[in-house]
A = this chain, B = another copy of it.
Amino acid sequence: MTEFRTPGNRFHSQDFTKPDGRPLTLYGLAPIAVTSEIPSPSPEAVDARPVMRWHPLRGEWVMYAAHRLGRTFLPPPEYNPLAPTSDPEHPTELPRGTYDIAVFANRFPSLTLTAPQPEPGPAGTRAGVGACEVVVFSQSAQGRLADLSEEQMALLIAVWADRTTRLAEGGTVRSVLAFENRGVEVGVTLHHPHGQLYAYDHVPPVQARMLEQAQRYHTEGGRPWLGDFVAEERAGGERVVLDDGLALSVVPPFARYTYETWVLPARPAARLSDLSADEQASLARVLKDALNRLDGLFGGRMPYLMTVHQAPLDGEYPEFPLHIELYPYLRAPGRMKYLAGTEQGAGEFANDKFPEVAARELKEVVL
Chain B, Cβ-Cβ closest to A341: B179
Chain B, Cβ-Cβ closest to A58: B209
Complex interface: chain B residues within 8 A of A179 (CB): 340-342, 345
- Complex partner residue of A64 from B68, B177, B209, B354, CB under 8 angstroms: B354
Contact B347 A225 (CB under 8 A): no
Oligomer: number of copies: 2
CA distance A53 to B251 in the complex (A): 13
- Whether a CB of chain B sits under 8 angstroms from the CB of A122 is yes
- Complex partner residue of A338 from B187, B341, B353, CB under 8 angstroms: B187
A205 to B: closest C-beta gap in Å: 4
CA distance A144 to B12 in the complex (A): 59
CA distance A325 to B256 in the complex (A): 24
CA distance A47 to B313 in the complex (A): 49
Chain B, Cβ-Cβ closest to A340: B181
- Whether a CB of chain B sits under 8 angstroms from the CB of A317 is no
Q: Which of A27-72 contact B (CB under 8 A)?
A: 51, 53-66, 68-69
Contact B210 A57 (CB under 8 A): yes
- Whether a CB of chain B sits under 8 angstroms from the CB of A253 is yes
Contact A341 B196 (CB under 8 A): yes
Contact B256 A209 (CB under 8 A): no
Complex interface: chain B residues within 8 A of A51 (CB): 354
Contact B339 A339 (CB under 8 A): yes
- Complex partner residue of A59 from B66, B209, B338, CB under 8 angstroms: B209
Q: A93-116: contact bitstring with B at CB < 8 Å (1 yes, 0 no)?
A: 000000000000000001000000
CA distance A54 to B53 in the complex (A): 31
Chain B, Cβ-Cβ closest to A68: B352
Q: Which of A315-367 contact B (CB under 8 A)?
A: 321, 325, 327, 331-332, 335-342, 344-354, 357
Contact A305 B341 (CB under 8 A): yes
Q: Which of A248-263 contact B (CB under 8 A)?
A: 253-256
Contact B213 A58 (CB under 8 A): yes
Residues of A within 8 A of B (CB): 51, 53-66, 68-69, 73, 110, 121-125, 175, 177, 179-181, 186-187, 196, 198, 200, 204-207, 209-210, 212-214, 217, 225, 229, 232, 236, 253-256, 305, 307, 309, 321, 325, 327, 331-332, 335-342, 344-354, 357
